[in-house]
Amino acid sequence: MKVQVASLVDNDAALVDTFAPDAVVLVPDARVARADTTGLREAITRLEPSSQLKGVAIVKLVAGADDGAVWWSAELAVKRADGKTVTVRATELATKDAGWKVVAGAFGELRKAGAPSEADDIPDKSATAAGPLSSLLAKPGNAPDALAPSAVVFGTDTGEAAWDSASAKKLLAGWSKLDFTVNGKVREVSGASWSFAIANVDWKQPNKKYLARMAGLVIADGSRRVVAVQYTAY
């Protein structure tokens, strides 16, 4: 995370090097991107090409580990050239199998989910069959039964951040009646001590004519307990 924070300012190559070649990353407008995509730094920070940031700082971070994996959830303060500072939430998983590089990540600004113009699917080479974690993104209220003690959960809005299992259970329970559906391709991968799923999620809101779309990342440890969940908004 520290290397990424430093490289987000002006070093594209150093940022890309923190990710495994086949990593899939959610960026603040909820697009799904390969980590080797040109302009990843601009996508994460929503900069115009060739623009620079004044600085990025870690405001809060919670990390955990299992044999062969480490994961973390963080809030970043991103200071742009116009002087505005925005909050970006990040959730990532790095594994020993990938040389301790990030295999899945999500970066999201704080804002309400909106109607998408077009879905960005998981890249074909990265798509997999759906499994239990993909299903959990559509039924987040089921997660409290399998939460790790230090689980962190991020929603799309300002107040939707839970930094421990007690508050995570409460936040997820509050989403139990929401009408979520996984849309399109997914990427769900497991190792001996970790697993994750990334997918687009549609939200059918009461009394709304359109679906709101989000993208979601869920990470589990070797005991298949959920350690992190993040939804990012379109």
Fold observed for domain 2-233? Nuclear Transport Factor 2; Chain: A, (3.10.450)
Residue 188 makes CB contacts below 8 A (sequence gap 6+) with 128, 129, 130, 131, 133, 134, 195, 196, 197, 198
pTM (two decimals): 0.93
pLDDT at 208: 83
Between 19-23, 32-36, 203-207, the lowest mean confidence (pLDDT) is in 32-36
pLDDT at 159: 92
Rounded Cα gap, residues 164 and 167, in angstroms:
6
Higher pLDDT, 95 or 27: 95
* Average per-residue pLDDT for the chain: 89
Query: Is the pLDDT at 28 greater than 70, yes or no?
Result: yes
Average pLDDT, stretch 186-191? Answer: 95
Query: Is the pLDDT at 50 greater than 60, yes or no?
Result: no
pLDDT at 51: 62
Rg over alpha carbons for the chain, rounded to the nearest Å, is 16
Rounded Cα gap, residues 38 and 85, in angstroms:
24
Rounded Cα gap, residues 68 and 126, in angstroms:
21
Through-space distance between the first and last CA atoms of the chain, rounded to whole angstroms: 24
Average pLDDT, stretch 89-109? Answer: 96
Beta bridge partners of 34: 24
Higher pLDDT, 69 or 9: 69
155 — phi, psi (to 5°)? -100, -165
Helix (H) or strand (E) segment spanning residue 181:
strand 179-190
Between 35-44, 59-68, 175-184, 201-210, the lowest mean confidence (pLDDT) is in 35-44
Rounded Cα gap, residues 189 and 24, in angstroms:
11
Q: Could you give the C-alpha distances from 132 to 64, 136, 140, 177, in angstroms and in order?
A: 21, 6, 11, 19
pLDDT at 49: 59
Between 58-62, 103-107, 181-185, the lowest mean confidence (pLDDT) is in 181-185
Structure tokens at 192: 């001996």
Query: Is the pLDDT at 36 greater than 70, yes or no?
Result: no
Q: Are 178 and 189 in contact (CB under 8 A)?
A: no
pLDDT at 38: 67
Between 18-32, 105-119, 164-178, 186-200, the lowest mean confidence (pLDDT) is in 105-119
Higher pLDDT, 110 or 51: 110
